[in-house]
Amino acid sequence: MKPFKRLVAIEDTLISEEARNKLSQYAEKVELFDTLPENDEEVIRRIGDADAVLVSFKTHITKTIFEKCPNIRYIGMCCTLYEASSCNVDLTEACRRGITVTGVKDYGDEGVVEYAISELVRFMHGFGDRQWRTDKQELTRQKVGIIGLGKTGGMLADAFRFFGSEVYYYSRSRKPEAEDKGFRYLDLDELLRTCDIVLTCLPRNTYLLGEKEFRIFGNGKILMNTSIGTTFDVGALKKWLAANPDSYYFCDGTGMGTLANELAGLPNVFHTPIVAGKSIQSTGRLSAKALANIEAFLNGNKT
């Protein structure tokens, strides 16, 4: 008998075809959905009596869903699990019910770094249809600020240092190992004043930039968001872009979130409508780690 009775992926989890096929080793019945559920009722219908659930970062699994689907004992998040406040699964309720929730780390960062460098270089040199300033620019000696120095932020900082940029960072706690590399810590306001290029690399649902911060940031600047969803007050961003025509906002499909229609048509928004971190290599890393999480759970390692 297989460990799970029914395993359901309630949406496209971005794992490989090989990994999808391997799921049949873990459950008597496997059902994989590739479309987003429209509402909680659809999520409940898809899960039904399943005891194992796979989910990406898009769909919320709420207390109500847990109440309606009492057989769940394992949830595999095929995405990064930061902390309860930024998680689309109600971790408090899951813990109360004894349900194990696992996440995947460090699988798409390489593609995000390549996206950031390539988009900025194109814009600074005028390799596309627009150019940042009248004179072409290199990354050399540019003042670059990283907000959030986790895995992605750290890799971006290393990349910009390689190209000769002056790298500054802001995070909730100081990073001595980063400062040993020459990355300078600044508080948020000072970082915005100092840097011409700022990248936000934050957990989901972390909002640090409002009207005051954008006012400090000013004109002639570049803001690039590499996070999942917004890292700012949307109204404040729009006011900043309108008042500062020589400032620009960059994001990929993940960073844009649900704002595509709201920001459509703004001339100083650069939206790349794909997931920058998605590649055959990142899919392989994600798939291997998602399967390893399932096997660790089944082997009794529920951490």
The whole-number pLDDT of residue 301 equals: 65
What is the 3-class SS of the chain, one letter each residue? CCCEEEEEECCCCCCCHHHHHHHHHCEEEEEECCCCCCCHHHHHHHHCCCCEEEECCCCCECHHHHHHCCCCCEEEECCCCCCHHHCCECHHHHHHCCCEEECCCCCCHHHHHHHHHHHHHHHHHCCCCCCCCCCCCCCCCCEEEEECCCHHHHHHHHHHHHCCCEEEEECCCCCHHHHHCCCEECCHHHHHHHCCEEEECCCCCCCCECHHHHHHHCCCCEEEECCCCCCECHHHHHHHHHHCCCCEEEEEHHHHCCCHHHHCCCCCEEEECCCCCCCHHHHHHHHHHHHHHHHHHHCCCCC
The tokens describing 45, both together, are 């219908």
What is the homologous superfamily of the domain 109-272 according to CATH?
NAD(P)-binding Rossmann-like Domain (3.40.50.720)
Mean pLDDT in the chain?
Answer: 95
Q: Report whether pLDDT(90) > 90.
A: yes
Ramachandran region, residue 53 (left: φ > 0; alpha: ψ -120 to 50; beta: rest): beta
Tell me where in the chain the CATH 3.40.50.720 domain(s) lie.
Answer: 4-106+280-298, 109-272
- If pLDDT is split at 50, 70 and 90, which confidence band does 94 have? very high
Could you tell me if 194 and 170 are in contact, meaning their C-beta atoms sit under 8 angstroms apart? no
Highest mean pLDDT among 23-27, 260-264, 272-276: 23-27
The average pLDDT across 98-105 equals 94
Q: Report whether pLDDT(57) > 90.
A: no
Tens digit of each residue's pLDDT (9 = 90 or more) over 228-241: 889 999 999 999 99
Count Cβ atoms below 10 Å from residue 86 Cβ, excluding itself: 17
Residue 98 buriedness (CB in 10 A; 0-12 / 13-18 / 19+): exposed
The average pLDDT across 249-263 equals 90
Q: Report whether pLDDT(302) > 80.
A: no
Q: Report whether pLDDT(265) > 90.
A: no
Residue 34 buriedness (CB in 10 A; 0-12 / 13-18 / 19+): exposed
The whole-number pLDDT of residue 203 equals: 86
The whole-number pLDDT of residue 121 equals: 98
The average pLDDT across 101-124 equals 95
Q: Report whether pLDDT(189) > 80.
A: yes
Strand partners, 225: 200, 251
* Residue of 83 and 184 predicted with greater confidence: 184
The average pLDDT across 222-251 equals 96
The average pLDDT across 221-248 equals 96
The whole-number pLDDT of residue 303 equals: 47
Q: Which of 60, 80, 69, 3 is nearest to 290 (CA)?
A: 80
For 4-106+280-298, the fitting CATH number among 3.90.1560.10, 3.40.50.720, 3.40.50.11540, 3.90.1170.40 is 3.40.50.720
